[in-house]
Amino acid sequence: MPAQDDEALDAAETNRRTRRRQLAMLVTPIVVFTIAARIGDALAPTLLVNEPLALIALNSRMRYLILASPQLNVLAFFAIPLVRYAAIASLYFIVGRRYGDQAVQWLEQSNVGASGPILRIVRWVERQFGRARFPVLMLLPGYPLVLLLAGASGMSAFSFGLAVGTTMVARLILIRFVAGEFTGVIVDITDWVAQYQWWLTGLSIALVVAFAVWGQRSGRRPIQTVDEIVDDLEEPIDAG
């Protein structure tokens, strides 16, 4: 019996390590994308002037897409953000599908201490998603909680892809149109940024660092390590 117990324990430990390794492979890109977005924020002024394609590859915020649009051809403007978003959305969807409510709790826990608008948005999304999955997905396609909820709710991959894909293409078309209408203004802004890019880059780096420090002190965890995420998803989180 002791030998059989040892074999069972060894098998359980092997399975646990295999699950952790597979989960780590899944969440590592999420951490990489999160860090890349922070780098994009920190270096945005310099990247906008010198490497606009790198800027939207690191971080595809609406303001960066608008400011970079006049410098990019149509293919680059649409392809880079769509590929980036498809990768991120798929990762969160798969995590939500595999870990269900625990994945949602993990994301909430990573923002523990959040208050005001952030907390209200989180609660509103959770209340509305079950009743209006498609409208919520189309309204907040880039919000990680929405992507997790889509997977956790059992939504089909086809329906998910159709909803978020259509929304993101429409969003990019609108951004491209708006940028085209205000090209002169955008070029003037870019020229001004170029004139003061090093000062502005220093300021943006300082703001990103200050936000990270503030987040840590207020209990929020905007960037977690792979091991922290794996631990959170493997072990139940106290709902209380």
Q: What is the pLDDT of residues 87-134, one digit of tens each?
A: 999 999 998 888 888 887 777 766 544 445 555 666 666 666 767 778
Residue-wise pLDDT for 124-181, tens only, equals 666 667 677 788 888 878 888 888 888 888 888 998 999 899 999 999 999 999 999 9
Report the distance separating Cα 141 and Cα 33, nearest Å. 16
Reported as a single tens digit per residue, the pLDDT across 96-109 is 888 888 887 777 76
pTM above threshold 0.85: no
pLDDT in tens, 13-28: 667 677 778 888 888 8
Q: Is the dihedral of CA 18, 21, 24, 28 positive or negative?
A: negative
* pLDDT, average across residues 28-54: 93
pLDDT at 240: 43
User: Best-predicted range by mean pLDDT among 30-34, 78-82, 115-119?
Assistant: 78-82
Do 166 and 10 form a contact (C-beta atoms < 8 A)?
A: no
Give burial (CB, 10 Å; 0-12/13-18/19+) of 147: buried
Nearest to 172, CA basis, from 32, 33, 30, 68: 68
